[in-house]
Amino acid sequence: METVEYDVNDFNERYAGDKSVYAKFYTMPIKNESASAKEGRPIFEDREYIEIRASGNQNNIINRPADQLDRERFSRHYDLFKKGQEDQVVGTPLSEVTWLTRSQIEELAYVRIRTLEQLANVNDETCQRMVGLRDLKNKAVAFLENAEKAAPFTAMAEENEKLKQQVEALSVQMKELLEAKKKA
């Protein structure tokens, strides 16, 4: 009997593969047949739908009514939808990536790759269909890995800056109190 070793961490996050998926919620008017028959005119109700696309694959598109599982699975996208944002991009928009050209961003947007995270998770089949995509994917993976490693230092730098501002504000307050005390 052959044994296979698995990395348990691969199974910890239920929707780990969703990082490479483009999800968009939208409303669609659906005819209410019973209300239409009762009123004698067409009555429509807005229903929430979801569009799910595999990034880089124009043939793998799901459009269907959204259910509670979709709302939980793509909760950040759903929150953006409820706030009225038409395009629910979650992640680092490619427009914020300095090493991508405008034409590369447009080309990637055409195949529904809109974030750095989606680019890093593009499947190999898609990489074979687009010239240079594998190099961009590798750059995205390296960038995200470096950002993850630097995250604690970035957080410390931000906290350090806040503390400096607090110290400066307290110093100003202290000077004001000392001046007020001298005047009194």
pLDDT over 90 at 164, yes or no: yes
- In whole angstroms, give the CA distance from residue 134 to residue 141: 10
Burial category of 115 from C-beta neighbours within 10 Å (exposed 0-12, middle 13-18, buried 19 and up): buried
pLDDT over 90 at 66, yes or no: yes
Instruction: Work out the average pLDDT over 123-134.
Output: 84
Map residue 30 onto helix, strand or coil.
Answer: strand
- The pTM is what? 0.48
pLDDT in tens, 10-51: 555 666 567 667 888 988 878 888 877 776 666 677 889 999
pLDDT, the chain, mean: 81
Which residue type sits at 151?
A
Q: Cβ distance 120 to 140 under 8 Å? A: yes
- In whole angstroms, give the CA distance from residue 32 to residue 9: 46
Q: Cβ distance 118 to 19 under 8 Å? A: yes
- In whole angstroms, give the CA distance from residue 8 to residue 151: 24
Token pair for 98: 């300095």
Percent of the residues in the chain that have a pLDDT greater than 70, as a whole number: 81
Pairing relation of β-strands 61-65 and 44-54?
antiparallel
